[in-house]
Amino acid sequence: MHQRKGKKVLIYFFLLIALGSINNLQLKNVKFNQIKTINISGLDNENNQYILKQLKNLNLDNFFFININEIKDVFEENSIIENYKIFRIYPSTLDIKIKKTNFFAQIRHKGKVYLIGSNGKLSEKKILNQKLPFIFGNPDIDEFLNLKKIIDESQISYSEIKNIFFYPSKRWDLELKSNIIIKLSINNIGESLKLAVEFLHSEEFKDIKIIDARIKNQIILNG
């Protein structure tokens, strides 16, 4: 009886060794697909090539086990990117679609001119863009983006704005391309714009230069 059990144990032992040897041999011969092609679209050629160069510096040899966090860091560090999508195309291609951020305004920060993007980031700009309003003052980007949202929800077109002034009191003034200045209240910006727009295109008040809407439910006009 004991001899039969001993023989069974030996048989199982040799089977285990044999199977283990086969698996080890197979694993040695496994070759994971390498990424051979990376396609990037959505930005101008210069920025596409810059990002491509950064990605090629990463360890992207394994098609199936890509370190997404490393790729994410490359995109997060680039201020002109709004969002992106990565598609893996078998057997060896990465297709990356990038959406460029929208620039809303210009601002001077630490002696340099930057563009404020819809992604809440600053992008350095060497040449002024006359189509975008210039912000005077030092608001937080989120404060400006909130103002931009309120303007977009009003009847005043953002494209009419030439300059934006931000004060330490957290109050804003808008200078339009028609040279009219709108003084906004601190806490009721939307209401200020609603009252101001009634006078903007009125023939009766065509000579006004300042629309003061700082006081709730009150408008003061200056020629």
Q: Which residue type, as a one-letter code, is found at position 132? A: L
List helix spans (H) across the chain: 2-29, 45-56, 68-76, 141-152, 189-200
The model's pLDDT over 53-66, given as tens digits with 9 standing for 90+, comes to 998 888 776 666 67
Flag whether 146 is in a domain: yes
Matching residue, tokens 């001993």 = 6
Q: Does the pLDDT value for residue 12 go beyond 50? A: no
Same domain, 180 and 192: yes
Same domain, 59 and 127: no
3-state secondary structure of 159: helix
Same domain, 95 and 133: no
Between the alpha carbon of residue 81 and those of residues 14, 30, 94, 114, 140, the distances in Å are 59, 37, 18, 15, 20
Question: Quick one: pLDDT at residue 202?
Answer: 77
The share of the chain scoring above pLDDT 70, in percent, equals: 81
Same domain, 82 and 188: no
CA–CA separation, 112 vs 152, rounded Å? 27
Question: Quick one: pLDDT at residue 79?
Answer: 94
Same domain, 128 and 190: yes
Q: Does the pLDDT value for residue 71 go beyond 90? A: no
Ranking 28-32, 37-41, 61-65, 143-147 by mean pLDDT, the lowest is: 28-32
Taking residues 10-32, report their average pLDDT.
45
Residue 139, preceding peptide bond in cis (omega within 30° of 0): no
The model's pLDDT over 135-187, given as tens digits with 9 standing for 90+, comes to 999 999 999 999 999 999 999 999 999 999 999 999 999 999 999 999 999 99
Question: Quick one: pLDDT at residue 199?
Answer: 87
State CA 110 to chain mean position distance: 22
Print the domain residue range for 170: 103-222
Same domain, 129 and 75: no
Same domain, 51 and 111: no
Taking residues 91-109, report their average pLDDT.
93
Flag whether 31 is in a domain: no
Question: Quick one: pLDDT at residue 156?
Answer: 94
The share of the chain scoring above pLDDT 90, in percent, equals: 56
Same domain, 147 and 187: yes
Local confidence band at 78 (pLDDT 50, 70, 90 cut-offs): very high
Question: Quick one: pLDDT at residue 28?
Answer: 44
Taking residues 88-108, report their average pLDDT.
92
Dihedral of CA atoms 155, 158, 161, 165 in degrees, nearest 10, equals 100
CA–CA separation, 37 vs 165, rounded Å? 48
Dihedral of CA atoms 157, 158, 163, 167 in degrees, nearest 10, equals 100
Local confidence band at 125 (pLDDT 50, 70, 90 cut-offs): confident
84: left (phi over 0), alpha (psi -120 to 50) or beta: beta
Taking residues 209-217, report their average pLDDT.
93
CATH assignment of the domain containing 56: 3.10.20
**Which of 50, 77, 100 delimits the end of a domain?**
100
Q: Which two tokens stand for residue 91?
A: 């057997």
CA–CA separation, 207 vs 199, rounded Å? 11
Q: What is the CA radius of gyration of the chain?
A: 31
Flag whether 14 is in a domain: no
Q: Which two tokens stand for residue 137?
A: 């003052």
Flag whether 5 is in a domain: no
User: Between residues 11 and 100, which one has the greater pLDDT?
Assistant: 100
CA–CA separation, 34 vs 214, rounded Å? 63
Mean pLDDT of the chain: 84
